[in-house]
Amino acid sequence: MTTETTETKETGATGRGGPAVLVVQHEEDAGPGLVGERLVRTGLRLDVIRAWRGEALPETLGGHAGLLVLGGSANCEDDEAAPWLPRVRGLVREAVAGEVPLLGICLGGQVVAHALGGAVSRRARGPEAGAVPLRRLPAAEGDPVLGGVPEGAPAAQWHWDEVDRLPDGAVPLLTGDDCPYQAFRVGSAGWAVQFHPEVGADTVAAWAAVDGEDLRAAGGDPEAAVASVREAEPELRAVWGAVSEAWGAVVRARAGARGV
C-alpha cells in the first residue's frame, strides 16, 4: 500500500473487533492517515464520523474507548462553518472528565484547548507549513505517549491558527522555534498536538494545491513546504507512527481497566 493510499482512503469503521476509537473527521482530505493505520495495527477499531457530510456525532462517548479529533481548516470557534463543533467540545470535556484517552490533532488540538478554557488565535506572523523540528520540554520525560520523541524530531505543519494560552492544568510537552505549544497533555489521558502526525508529503501536496496561493500570499512557500515534508517522510513515519502506537497502547490499557 502506498503512502498516498494509506492517507486518503475512506476509513469508515476500520479494524475488526477490539476497543473502538471515535474519530471526528472535519474534511474529506484530512482523514486519520498514518495515525489510523497504526491504531488499527495495535488492535483498535476506528469509528470514523465524517462530520462535514452531516454524519451525526453521538451524544456521549458511550462504549468508545478513545476519542481522536482530526485537523481541518475551520477556526475552532466557528460553529457556523462547522456546526458540529459544539458537540465535539462536549465530547472532549467528557473524555477529560472521564479519563477516556483523547488525542487532538491540529484543529483537533485547538478544539481541546478551547473546550477546556484555553485560547486560540490567528498567527500574526503568518502560517507555519512544512517539516519543522521540535524541541522536548522537561515534562516530556516519561510521558507515555510523547516521551520517546527525540530532540529535534521533524513534524509536518500546516496551520494558520495556534493555541496561545493553555487550559489551566495543561502540561506542555513539545515546543518549536515559531510555535510555543506544539504538544500538551490535559488530565490523566488527554493529548493535543499542533502538527500533523497523520500525514506524509502526498497529503501536504494536495493541501498545497488548494491553499498554496493563500500560503504564498501570507509569505510562505508551498513548494518548499511540500519538499521538506517529502525529504523528512521516513523519519516522520517512524517517529509519529511510534507515537500513534503508544497512544493506542494507552487506549487499550484504559479500555481493559474500564471493561469497554
- What are the residue numbers of the active site? 106, 196, 198
Dist. CA 56–CA 87, nearest whole Å:
10
Query: Cell digits for 128?
Result: 507555519
Element (H, E) at 133: strand 128-133
Helices (H) and strands (E) in the chain, counts: 6, 13
Task: List Cβ neighbours of 228 (8 Å cut-off, separation of 6 or more).
Answer: 130, 131, 154
DSSP tag of 11:
-
Q: With beta carbons less than 8 A apart as the criterion, state whether 223 and 230 touch.
A: no
- CB–CB of 172/195 below 8 Å? no
Helix axes 33-41, 222-258, angle to 10 degrees: 30
Count of CB atoms situated within 10 Å of the CB of 242:
14
